[in-house]
Amino acid sequence: MKVKKANKEDSEVIIDFQLKMAYETEKLKLNKAIVSKGVLAVFSNPDKGFYLIVKSNDKTIASVMLTPEWSDWRNSTFLWIQSLYVLPEFRKKGVFKRIYTYVQSLVNDSDDLTGIKLYVDQNNKIAQQAYANVGMLKSHYQLFEWNKFDY
């Protein structure tokens, strides 16, 4: 398995993974045209973040989006792990650990980055265990959101 920064040529597989992930985790059938524009926007504007993909024998088996969040308290940036998807047949085989280790090295090797955050559906116990297994700690913060779109 190899983790690498995605490029625009990887957008179709990333779009497909996002549609699958939304349905699998939240039973949401997202609009492919909107998701496509959203994924392409990341490649057009690096301030929005960037994608990583994981390859195994030239097959893309996972993708993740990393988005920056400025912290004035730390005078540095957190990377948020978002939109993580691993093909079902590659789960529980160390793919997330490989991604996490890669992202952790990005943070450790940069003076501008301070840490890693993610959010997870409160009912997704399998994912929560995977995050705990790599050493992530449950935050004392609770996430609230407002969304003008009704899915």
Q: Per residue of the chain (151 residues), what is the pLDDT tens digit? A: 999 999 999 999 999 999 999 999 888 999 999 999 999 999 999 999 999 999 999 999 999 999 999 999 999 999 999 999 999 999 999 999 999 999 999 999 999 999 999 988 888 888 888 999 999 998 888 888 888 876 5
66 in any annotated domain? yes
Confidence (pLDDT) at 83: 94
37 in any annotated domain? yes
Confidence (pLDDT) at 151: 58
| CATH, residue 95 | 3.40.630.30
Confidence (pLDDT) at 123: 84
Closest CA to 14 of 88, 101, 83: 83
Q: Which amino acid is at 76?
A: S
Helix/strand/coil for 47: helix
Terminal alpha carbon distance of the chain: 35
94 in any annotated domain? yes
User: 76: which strand partners?
Assistant: 71
150 in any annotated domain? no
26 in any annotated domain? yes
In the numeric block, which tokens belong to residue 21?
A: 């992930």
116 in any annotated domain? yes
Give Cα separations from 59 to 15, 36, 123, 146 (angstroms).
15, 21, 30, 37
Confidence (pLDDT) at 22: 92
Give the structural domain span for 40: 2-133
123 in any annotated domain? yes
Q: Which residue has the tokens 């912290």?
A: 71
143 in any annotated domain? no
Number of structural domains (the chain) is 1
